A = this chain, B = another copy of it.
Amino acid sequence: MIGGGIGSFFGPVHRMAAALDGQAEYVCGAFSADPDKSHRSGQELYLNPARVYADYQEMVAKESALPLDRRIDFVSIVTPNVYHFEAAKLCLEAGFNVICDKPMTGNLAEAKALKSIVAKSHKVFALTHTYTGYPMVKQARFLVQQGALGKINKVVVEYPQGWLAGFLESGVTAATMWRTDPQKAGVSLCMGDIGIHAENLVRYVTGLKVEKVCADVSHFIPGNQLDDDADILVRYQGGVKGMLSASQISTGEENGLNIRVYGTKNGLYWNQETPNYLTLKAKEGYTTTYSKGNKILCPAAQNAARLPPGHPEGIIEALANIYLEAFRAIRDGSGKRKNTIYDFPNVDDGVIGMAFVETALASASSDRKWMEMLSTEK
């Protein structure tokens, strides 16, 4: 693991998720830019001190020197955003598979560059858009693919959070957190942290790509150099309309990512805070709610559940599902994956996500005009 040391929020979650099903074990790490903190973190994790490194450069160098049967199979990258690119590049070029937190990079240019690096590496690169790991999100995707919704006309996706609202009256500025620091977060706070999940969720469920956006991206927190609220009108392929919003100042909201898709036959609703349920709303006037773990679900949804219906599973399990798919790809031998489809977000998703973020920011800074999606090609 690179990053994720003491005090990290998502580092432990990655460790739990990766280890949940007994298919992987973290054996080494460079847990912090601060070597001392890295070593203390390794100690807390009961790691062999010899395999706890001062920085990721050292880690990649020393691990690469180990015999194949002792060498690590993959690296999880959970550093602040701007370090993802260099860390991933180094790992991939050294022949390690990579599982990387989102946003994939600090900006779009790096994202495109990373795509080339992944292609050359013939290694697995998985991006942890965690929410696509939920069973009922897979069922949503299945229902859309089966035509249960008819032709899609409209997609509404929201990602409201309120945690930054705490700063609004407190007089504290946002300057102390890495997420609010452009030097560590990259081009965006709110869009990069959560807006990017919203775009990914839409595309995962519906397959629709964004064509144009008109984005009102701004910030409310005093001293915030980056965005903390984004409301976006979207036009997808084929005339599909939509709204996409992401906010960190929606007071009292916790982590309310939710999606509604309206087709000619049915509407669909899923909410991350009640992740084990999925609702279909029929044109004829009744709603059907599906729940995790039942045998009437599609195979992907069934496989993504570890427990019977009514036994709640959460976000750790969702992330673990992404790890499981990445492990499957790794076991298959990273470069020989012909005719196999792996159900995890990959480097293409990362490029599209960063293009979406930069397009929204560009629209917002051009008097909030409509703007075509930036190219994801070089």
User: Measuring CB to CB, which residues of chain A are less than 8 angstroms from any residue of chain B?
Assistant: 9, 12-13, 15-16, 19-22, 45-46, 149-151, 153-154, 156, 161-163, 165-166, 168-169, 214, 216, 218, 220, 229, 231, 233, 235, 241-243, 245, 247, 249-256, 260, 262-267, 272-275, 280-291, 293-296, 306-317, 367-370
Contacts and interface: CB of A to CB of B under 8 A. Distances in A.
A251 B281 contact: yes
B9 A22 contact: no
Given A229-B154, A243-B245, A289-B289, A168 B311 contact: no
Contacts of A368: 214, 233, 370
B307 A13 contact: yes
A285 to B, nearest CB: 3
Copies in the complex: 4
Given A169-B265, A286-B296, A12 B308 contact: no
Nearest to A25: B25
A370 B364 CA distance: 12
A367 to B, nearest CB: 7
Contacts of A229: 153-154, 241
Contacts of A280: 252
Among A156, A286, A288, residue most surrounded by chain B Cβ atoms (within 10 Å): A286
Contacts of A233: 214, 216, 231, 233, 368
A232 to B, nearest CB: 8
